Amino acid sequence: MHQDSHLAPTSDQSAFPGNARTHAPYADALQAAAERDSLFLSTPGHGGTTTGISAGQAEFFGEHILSLDIPPLFDGIDLGVDTPKDEALQLAAEAWGARRTWFLTNGSSQGNRMTALAIGTLGTGVVTQRSAHSSFIDGIVMAGLNPGFVSPNVDEVNGIAHGVTPDSLRHAIASHPEKVTAVYLVTPSYFGAVADVRALAEVAHDAGAALIIDAAWGAHFGFHPDLPESPVTLGADIVIMSTHKLAGSFTQSALLHLGDTEFANRLEPALARAFMMTASTSENAHLLASIDIARRDLVNSHDAISDSLENIRQIRARIEGSEHYHLLSGDFMNHADVVDIDPFRLPIDITSTGLDGHAVRKRLTEDFDIFAEMATSTTIVALIGVGKSPDLSRLFDALDQMRLENNSSETAEATTKPAGIPALPNAGKLITLPRDAYFADSELVSAAEAVGRTSVSSLAAYPPGIPNVLPGEEITAETVEFLQAVAASPSGHVRGAVDPQLSTFRVLKD
């Protein structure tokens, strides 16, 4: 599957002990508690019963879901020592190759904020990939970090940010005015490009900095010989993963792993404190159980992933055999930062149809009830859930229908109208530390007046949620133009905007 298979596969399902394959200790304990006839004179208010005001909940969600909604610190589940929850966490750590793992109920977003708070104990100088998710930028504000940036390789034509090369990381660390004590990088990318974690860890560690990998999109790595290795085993000190994205757990559930490294040992107590600061004291049992079950299923997933990969091979062959569509990931390996590709992402180039990717995605949703993960002007990205083998004929039939309609003169104008989103803008200069900008006096100005001023907000085009403007950064004319175009596009949304059209911006007071 991989064009360059120099990363040796590590996944060996027989390496997982029997109980890892048969048990989901937290979920099993939850189930046992739910089956008891307990009288709850405690939270949650619905008491696990369907009576009275809870009838509506029961009718909508089913009685089983109510009975499983058991609060934390429950005898036999997570109260005391050596609990089923502890066992579930240990099995997760073993499955991903970590020394210790935390279950997160507020997504990788929580993991990113936890991480920023924890690395603040090493120092304030960090180098972060400029295409970091907005939750890490929020973490920079919370922890008062002083970020230097390393730019990802960018495919300008397709509007795709890839990863970072070891050389560009070395250069960014050397260029930062403050001693760099941590590096934060994202791999795999939103489009499935995988960076060389082992080499990047070497660069970070040689410079005396911890390496954090945001692998929100890579929770399935390491669970099959034909998938990239789990980044936890490649020398990273902290790895964050959204199990909900591709690996089958419920939305909002995620993991934070600690590597088996010296930095990991130093960061562990700070991470434990940061976890308490970022998690609810009433973590949701459904989310926790769904991580436990997803781990058990991944451990047993070899055959399902093999089937998925065979299905994906057929889809790829269909795309490559077509004169109209093209899979962009085939070209990713030409980029210096990319050493592997996640096969579960299908970035499909649709330019030969004359249609704009954003408009196609919108029409797929509205007219065909098909939801593609994202679009750029040239591309739609289809995501296949791990262990799934969907029939994509419906997608290709829809694309063909749109392409044919587009070629008929009556409708051509309506459907070929490009979304007109300009190229990804360069980042503005960092004028003030993000935390200082966040807490400073601010004022609201028009978009025209905002150019040249310092933003107090993080503004991120969605998807993928990568901030185009950080708190403390100068707002440039090209960024205003880009964000307004995104906001006006069919499925565009800018997180952090004062108003949906971006006609005003919140900036530092003069």
Ligand X SMILES: Cc1ncc(COP(=O)(O)O)c(C=O)c1O
Binding site for ligand X (CB under 6 A): 107-109, 112, 133, 135, 186, 190, 214, 216, 242, 254, 464-465
CB 337 within 8 A of CB 189: no
Q: Which residues of 199-284 form beta strands (DSSP E)? A: 210-214, 238-241, 254-258
Output 186 or 256, the one with its CB closest to ligand X.
186
Output 422 or 465, the one with its CB closest to ligand X.
465
Question: Closest separation between CB of residue 469 and ligand X, Å?
Answer: 18
- Among 59, 214, 200, 49, smallest CA distance to 136 is for 214
Output 186 or 392, the one with its CB closest to ligand X.
186
CB 366 within 8 A of CB 212: no
Question: Closest separation between CB of residue 244 and ligand X, Å?
Answer: 6
**Bond into 269 cis (ω within 30):** no
Question: Closest separation between CB of residue 5 and ligand X, Å?
Answer: 25
CA-CA distance, 349 to 335, in Å (whole number)? 17
CA-CA distance, 347 to 326, in Å (whole number)? 8
Question: Closest separation between CB of residue 457 and ligand X, Å?
Answer: 18
- Cα→Cα distances 243→37, 115, 162, Å: 32, 17, 21
For the CA atoms of the chain, what is the radius of gyration? 24
Output 108 or 454, the one with its CB closest to ligand X.
108
Question: Closest separation between CB of residue 132 and ligand X, Å?
Answer: 7
CB 237 within 8 A of CB 209: no
Q: Which residues of 405-425 are buried (b: 16+ CB within 10 A; e: fewer)?
A: ebeeeeeeeebeeebebeebb
Question: Closest separation between CB of residue 371 and ligand X, Å?
Answer: 15
Question: Closest separation between CB of residue 188 and ligand X, Å?
Answer: 9
CA-CA distance, 23 to 96, in Å (whole number)? 16
Output 106 or 442, the one with its CB closest to ligand X.
106
For residue 228, give the amino acid letter: P
Q: Does the CA dihedral 347-352-353-355 come out positive or negative? A: positive
Output 77 or 137, the one with its CB closest to ligand X.
137
Chain residue whose CB lies nearest ligand X: 107
Output 254 or 287, the one with its CB closest to ligand X.
254
Output 381 or 507, the one with its CB closest to ligand X.
381
Question: Closest separation between CB of residue 391 and ligand X, Å?
Answer: 26
- How does DSSP classify residue 53? G
